[in-house]
Every structure is written in structure tokens, then in C-alpha cells.
Structure 1
């Protein structure tokens, strides 16, 4: 469904869905990390404008992405890396909830930093 304020949203959504459908697990993680960073920026903007409903939707998207990343971890075979990522994702979830409750965009910065570091590490796997 196209958004009248953003006529390209339908195209972007279809493009994203096509990329996700053809992505291997490595690419999927990269896409999720990228999407999370974009949504964190949107959430911060919503907080600054005191757009509480949009902030809630954005934080919920962020939490869903973090939980999706966490669910992709292979805790049986991933060793210390999986355990550490699990802990980082748990920290990010708690920080997102805290930032939302306090409506504090600065409280999102530690999550941005953690996810950026994970993204950089993930990019170095290629």
C-alpha cells in the first residue's frame, strides 16, 4: 500500500522484501543491522519532536530487529561469540526500553555504538 506522503514507500518495501527473500543468512544479518541503525535514527528524531506514537512504533521495530538478530544466534555451536552477542543484544533491548520510557534520544547512542561495532565486525567477515 502506497503512502500518499511518500509515493516511493511501496517501491522501497517491495525492494526490501525481494532482497530479504534472496538473502543468505550473512546478508540477512547485514540487512538487519543496517535497518536497525536507520530505525534508531528515526526513533531519536521522534523523541526529539515528542512524537510519542511514532517513537513507540520505532522503538518496537528496533526491539523486533534486535530480537530477530538474537534469534539467529547458534547458541549450541556459536561458542563465546554467540554468548557475547546474546549479551550485547540483551543490553541493547534493555537500553531501548529505558530510552523509550525516559524519552531520551541520548540514551539511544550506546545502542548505536554497539550495533555499529557489530556491523563493522560483521563486514570484516567477508
Structure 2
């Protein structure tokens, strides 16, 4: 069993390697996967009443969402990108509420929305690669 630090540095290195050779869409997918993992962690912290860890975890989620949002091409993306930006903002707002209300159902809602968004990106990727 790897200790936490070794796992973290392995994870970071692995992520760096993925990011280095990633297309913009792959990058979004890598970040979204990381976000979904972190959301599951945050949910566990809420249920386990580990509030300090919950706060850190939700901050990390919000940072990733803001990163995803700021990488959108609002100038050329039209309505789809504008809607996606609003969805990311909505998710960030809901995570703030989840942090205050300690309601795992809100995390589930955000997870569901992001899973739908991820499916959309996978569809775009399939078109791009096909």
C-alpha cells in the first residue's frame, strides 16, 4: 500500500504526463475526472463530519470548476459556451451552498450535472477524432 504522499506525487506526475500530451478537450476531460473524484471525496467528508477536510475538498472543486470555466472560448463559442459557463457558475454556487448546509444531495446534483457535461465533451471528442 502506497503512503498518501507517494500516492499524491505519483498522481501529480501521472496528471502532468497526461496534461503534457493532451488536446484541449482531453485536458477538459482530465480536469473533469479529477473534479468528479474530488466531489466524491467532499461528499464522504460531509457524511463523515470531517468538516475541515470538506472545506479543503470543496475549495479544490471550486478551483477546478473556475479553471474549466475560464478556459472556455466565450468570444467564439456562441450560445453553447455561454450556457456551459452559466452551468459551471451554477455548480460553483451549489458547492458553496453544500459547504454551508452540509447536504450531500447537493453534491449529487453537481456530480450529475458534471457527468452530463462530461458526456457532451466526450461526444465532441469523438467527432473531433472521428
TM-score (norm. length: structure 1): 0.92
Distance in 1, matches of 2:39 and 2:21, equals 25
Which residue of the partner structure matches residue 116 of structure 1? 115
Structure-1 separation of matches of 2:4 and 2:27 = 29
Q: Distance in 2 between matches of 1:73 and 1:5?
A: 33
Match of 1:53?
A: 52
Q: Which runs of 5+ in 2 are unaligned?
A: none
By how many angstroms is 1:5 displaced?
4.1
* CA distance in structure 2 between the partners assigned to 1:32 and 1:8 by the alignment: 18
Aligned residues: 124
Deviation at 1:6, TM superposition (A): 5.5
State how 1:1-126 maps to structure 2 within 5 Å: 4-5=3-4, 7-125=6-124, 126=126
1: CA distance between counterparts of 2:28 and 2:4? 30
**1:63-90: CA deviations, max 9, x gaps?**
0010011001111100011110011011
Q: Write out per-residue CA displacement over residues 2-29 of structure 1, whole angstroms, 9 at most, x where no aligned residue.
A: x844543322221111211221211100
2: CA distance, partners of 1:60 / 1:9: 18
RMSD value, Cα: 1.4
Query: TM-score w.r.t. structure 2 length?
Result: 0.90
- Greater fraction of residues in helix: 2
Tell me, which stretches of 5 or more residues in structure 1 are unaligned? none
